[in-house]
Structure 1
Amino acid sequence: MTRSILFEGLFVHGVKRDSYFEAELRKVGFDRDDLLPQYPMSLFRKCLDIACRCFYPGLTVEEGRRRLGHQFVQGFARTVLGGAVSAGVPLVGPVRFLKKFPEHLRFDTSPISVNAVQVNERQFRLDFRASVDLSPFFLQGVVEEGLRLTRVVPSIRVVRHSPISFTLHVTW
């Protein structure tokens, strides 16, 4: 399960209102106008797939999910909690942002864990593990957009190890 803030950040505040998209979301069990406290991670993946088809039909699934990761961060900043969090991100800088990133995921009740390893002054490795299929490209977009808030231009490479583990190699 995952808290509704993930859904709210992306599907309520991150993407534009679209009647077809919203109808497709309702078909799989998500109504953006009637948020529940939490949802299954499997539903989030279904909604990501729908969003990719609706908003990025000409792109690969990987690129569509990466862009949705950007939109999540932008939408999360429009929530009450996200507004408070994102206001401080430019002050912490990229190193502290990446060191604290695992704590931000622990806020969630999802079964995802991440280990942040600083490789050198401007390089990190984020090792993700979970008991569910993960979307590395969505998280790539989240980390990219979060780092942009710290006023750096990141470069992130995804290395997928299995359906439930991957590494993001981050430089700036």
Structure 2
Amino acid sequence: MNTIYLGLGANVGDKKKHIQKAIELLSQKITHLKQASLYESKAVGYTDQDNFINTVVSGKTDLAPQELLVFAKAIEKEIGRIYRFRWGPREIDIDILFYNDRIIKQSDLEIPHPRLHQRDFVLVPLNELASDMMHPVFKKTIRQLLQAFPPENKSIIASEVGFNKTLLNQ
């Protein structure tokens, strides 16, 4: 079994419902799911859009990295994601943050996620689930990456307590 961490975000429609549905669908092929708190954050990149709701989930899977990517994209499609433009509005976005301690660089898949250290809406919930996990590229823990996060880049504006919820299947 492989340990994975996924970032989930939504800013179109019923954001919380889209995230809940994504987690429910993820449970079909991912066990031992745990979810961090939900965080509301300002959009990054293209900022003229609604705020996002973000979280991170961890779990175990037998899927290979490429299979996990295909599975995540199928869930995005099922929930109704429409690709508008880069960093545009989305019904749901599922990013593979970590897959064990693997480092993968392919045209359609990069693990660890190449910008996770630049996003507090990823680092803060990830820190809830795996503060001592070592980033395989930067050789720093998630806690250390969060502590080094520049305050001027902060995008989180609110949180909803739900720390380390165990979900669905074990």
TM-score of the superposed pair, with normalisation by structure 1: 0.30
Which one has the largest radius of gyration?
Answer: 1
More strand, by proportion: 2
> Taking CA–CA contacts closer than 8 Å with sequence separation of 6 or more, which of the two structures ends up with the larger relative contact order?
2
Question: What is the TM-score of this pair, normalised by structure 2?
Answer: 0.30
Determine which structure has the larger helix proportion and give its number.
1
